Structure 1
């Protein structure tokens, strides 16, 4: 426990030898140091997770994630430790707030940075579902764009093909209707266009000859349509339209698992909105409060230092600093006197007064 306490004292940026003399201050600085330590730990996890997605798929992804996470966590830890230890509790309240303001702003920025990757992990399932929808919509839009560009490029050929298809369908329908009339004539079915006399007479023979000629024309037109379709299909394959298809479920799962940090970050932002563009209040509040939680956690060491009262440790630090300043001034005055060759008793008297005053404090 003593080793753990000293470790957290070190994390708080306190002067260990001075803090040991004041047992009533031990728990306060253990709390401050633990907060700074866990902030750095969360920063390491966040940075490592983000870097893992940057190098995902690479054989060294885990190594880069561990290395960057360690460096990033140590950087945030050192910065937080400096921020907290640099607040002077011996100054006035207004001055302390003024000192802490830029540090709080910096802590907010750090909180935003370290919270984002952890939010990505928390909403991992929802992000994957949103990415699947996005990838599917993008692929559908890509196919529509390619088809529109192809139809614009081969407008004349597509027009001829559609015209030939329409002509073929009209001719096939007419031949089918005339074939039915011929059957009625042969089997003696009475209609407005048939005689009603059963048999294969001159009228039936003439109609059958006409039908055979029209069927030959239909066969020629059908061959022409197939030739045009083969040309269009060849052009589509050449332009890459035949290879573009909507993603299957397995393909979407593979794409989402390989999604990079930018895509996942975009999807996290889109979770706050429904598909119709309206805001999803519940998800928006969840994402917001998680981010605010990490921001508050990052600012917590500064708030704890500001809210804590001026204790005996702070007074000891102030006296130690003043003593060091006194010793420095004394050495400087002595060197000046030696250089000038003058032993000024007034300087010596003034130094002794200051020394006596510090000892009384």
Structure 2
């Protein structure tokens, strides 16, 4: 327990040697340190989960996720630790709130960032269904676009093909009627279209010739339809219409599994809306409260530090800070004094040297003058 306590003291950014002297403050800073630690832990998990989807499908996805998660968690831990430890309890309440305002805004931003990846995991099942629906709609739109483009480009050929098919249907009906009439003429059945004379006579031969002409035309039309169908099928392959199919359930599951962070984030935002575009209040509130929870959790260390009354540790820490400032100023004065002394000594040494040089020069000039 001592090691855990000291660890949470370290997480809170407290001066451990000073904090040891005030037992009443121990639990408060254990709570602050634990809050900072678990906030960083959630940030680590959120960052790693987000990075895992960024590199999803790669063999090193897990390695990158763990590495980035640790770096992100340590960065949040260091930032929270600095935010809490830098709040000065010596000022008034308004001064403390004003001092903590930028830190609270920063904590809100951090809370939003770390909550989003965890929301993606919490709503994973709903996100998958939303993605599958979106992919299926996208494939439908793609097929419709290809079909529309194909129809616009080959309208003339399709119209001609339809005309040939209608002519074929008409010819087949006429041929069936002509065969019936030929049989009636041969067997002597009396109708409006036959003579009533049995045998293969003139009328029967005429009807047979007409039947053969219609059959020849039917063969020509059938051949033309086959050629046109083959041509249109080739054009469909060329335009990619034959190769584009609706996704199966297995394909949709696979696409949802490999969906990137951007697609999943988009799907999470779309969960708050129904099919008709109206807002789904229940889902919206669920997402919002999860985000608010993490924002509150991230701001909690700052709020705890602001709400806690000024204790003996804070007074001692302020005195220690004042003493450190005093000692720093004293050391600075000493350094300046020593610098001045060295400068004065150097200056005195230079003056003495100049006097000696002037004296020597004067003696030299006097001796030279005497010699001359």
TM-score, normalising length from structure 2?
0.85
Q: Which residue of 2 aligns with 1:273?
A: 273
In 2, distance between residues paired with 1:278 and 1:297?
31
Deviation at 1:42, TM superposition (A): 0.5
Deviation at 1:328, TM superposition (A): 2.0
- CA shift, 1:331, in A, is 2.8
Unaligned 5+ residue runs, structure 2? Answer: 342-372
The whole-number CA distance in structure 2 between the counterparts of 1:23 and 1:178 is 115
Question: What's the counterpart of residue 120 of structure 1?
Answer: 120
> Could you tell me whether the CA contact under 8 Å between 2:188 and 2:199 is conserved in 1?
no
Corresponding residue for 2:345? none
Distance 1:3 1:198 in 2: 123
The aligned counterpart of 1:100 is 100
Q: Structure 1 residues 126, 190: closer, same or farther in 2, change over 3 A?
A: farther
In structure 2, relative to structure 1, the CA distance for the partners of 1:314 and 1:212 (3 Å cut) is same
**CA separation of 1:179/1:88 partners in 2, compared to 1, >3 Å: closer, same or farther?**
farther
Contact 2:9 2:33 in 1 (8 A): yes
Q: Deviations over 1:266-308 (max 9, x none)?
A: 1111111111211111111111111111111111111111111
Moved more, 202-211 or 310-319: 202-211
* Count of residue pairs the alignment pairs up: 340
Q: Give the 3-state SS of the residue equivalent to 2:275 in structure 1.
A: coil
1:88-117 CA distances to partner (integer Å, 9 max, x unpaired)?
Answer: 111111111111111111111111111111
What is the distance in 1 between the residues matched to 2:187 and 2:105? Answer: 98
What is the distance in 1 between the residues matched to 2:190 and 2:272?
Answer: 72
Question: 1:105-143: CA deviations, max 9, x gaps?
Answer: 111111111111111111111111111111111111111
Tell me, what secondary structure is at the counterpart of 2:229?
Answer: helix
Distance in 2 of aligned mates of 1:156 and 1:14: 83
Q: TM-score, normalised by structure 1?
A: 0.87
* Other-structure match for 2:247: 247
Partner of 2:223: 223
* Aligned residue number for residue 353 of structure 1: none
Distance 1:221 1:56 in 2: 57
Distance 2:261 2:144 in 1: 28
Q: Equivalent residue for 1:41?
A: 41
Q: Which blocks of at least 5 consecutive residues in structure 1 are unaligned? A: 342-361
- Aligned residue number for residue 290 of structure 1: 290
Question: Does the 8 A contact of 2:184 with 2:194 survive in 1?
Answer: no
1:1-361 matched pairs, under 5 angstroms = 1-179=1-179, 193=192, 203=203, 206-337=206-337
Distance 2:261 2:231 in 1: 44
CA distance in 2, matches of 1:154, 1:237: 13
* Range with bigger deviation, 236-245 or 252-261: 236-245
Alpha carbons of structure 1 residues 16 and 244: separation in structure 2 relative to 1, 3 Å: same
